[in-house]
Amino acid sequence: MPNPLRQKFRNKQTCYGLWVSLESPTITEIAATLGLDWVCIDTEHGHLDYKEVIDHLRAARGSDTAVIVRVPELQVTMLKRALDIGAHGVIVPAINTAEEAESAIQYGKYPPRGVRGIGGERAVRWGIFSQEYLKEANEETLVIPLIESRTAVENIDAILETPNLEAIYLGLADMSASYGYPGQWDAPGIPEHTQTVCQKALAKGIAPGILARNPAEAKARTAQGFQWVCLGSDTGILIDGVKERMAALGLPFAPRY
């Protein structure tokens, strides 16, 4: 069960992906066909359930596109279920301290490193490949803290010391809000904190990830050193594409709530 995204991190490659919040697995299938390095299926916000997540996982099977699941919260069952159905890794929201980062790693790793329970679900092909999966899972699965608060930024040095931590992801919407600037990614101090976290992660050999709101920002984030960059979300790209075509036709943009 080699994890293609983890191997790219180790090779210091820059990886590009898509954030997915819609239920159709065709979105992930298209992303894989296009050759994106990863997709993240979001179960923290929105309406997706595990039956829909597993369809996204199946849609990427046989490709080199890794499927990461953002779980709803730091809770052992949440991480276990996502990994048991075959996710290459999990993004864990609201990690603010080294203790929380350690808990996340433990929840996502089998003993002796962690406390993940052994199940017979899709990841082990319903028990047919249990031994093979158990032998490799602790090394290959990614448990990724979401750094999205002032507290997390202040504790980043300690968080980055967590054993077996290989990647982090920055959430600038909530981070900016925690500094008193909701949604203002370019507000005073936010770009500096973003760059500081990125450079500290790179210095530890940990891959920092982030969302880019447009192609120019994706280029800028890559130049900053971010090793995995989200090119946008399924809903956002759809909206932007339709708006662009409406504008080209001179149609008024008058959305209705």
Is 178 a residue whose pLDDT tops 90? yes
Taking the domains of the chain in order of start, what are their residue ranges?
4-243
Predicted local distance difference test score (pLDDT) of residue 228:
99
Q: What is the pLDDT of residue 213?
A: 95
Q: Residue type at 131?
A: Q
User: For residue range 68-104, what is the model confidence (pLDDT) as tens digits?
Assistant: 999 999 999 999 999 999 999 999 999 999 999 999 9
- Residue 170's beta-bridge partner residues? 147
Residue 91: per-residue pLDDT? 99
Q: Say which amino acid occupies 139.
A: E
Mean pLDDT of the chain: 97
Find the helix packing angle between 190-203 and 215-224, rounded to 10°: 50
Q: Is the pLDDT of residue 1 over 80?
A: no
**CATH class, range 4-243:** alpha beta
One-letter amino acid of 23:
E
Q: Is the dihedral of CA 187, 189, 190, 191 positive or negative?
A: positive
Mean pLDDT of 4-25: 98
The pLDDT-based confidence of 150 (bands split at 50, 70, 90) is very high
**pTM as predicted:** 0.97
What phi and psi values does residue 44 have, to the nearest 5 degrees?
A: -80, -50
Out of 45, 47, 56, 88, the active site residue is 45
Tens of pLDDT, residue by residue over 100-139, are 999 999 999 999 999 999 999 999 999 999 999 999 999 9
Q: So what's the pLDDT on residue 2?
A: 87
Q: Is the pLDDT of residue 4 over 90?
A: yes
pLDDT of residue 51: 96
Give yes or no: 47 in active site: no
Q: DSSP states of 105-138 as a string?
A: HHHHS-TTT--PPP--SGGGTTTTTHHHHHHHHH
What is the band of 142 on the pLDDT scale with cuts at 50, 70, 90? very high
Residue type for 29, please?
E
Q: Report the SS3 class of residue 165.
A: coil
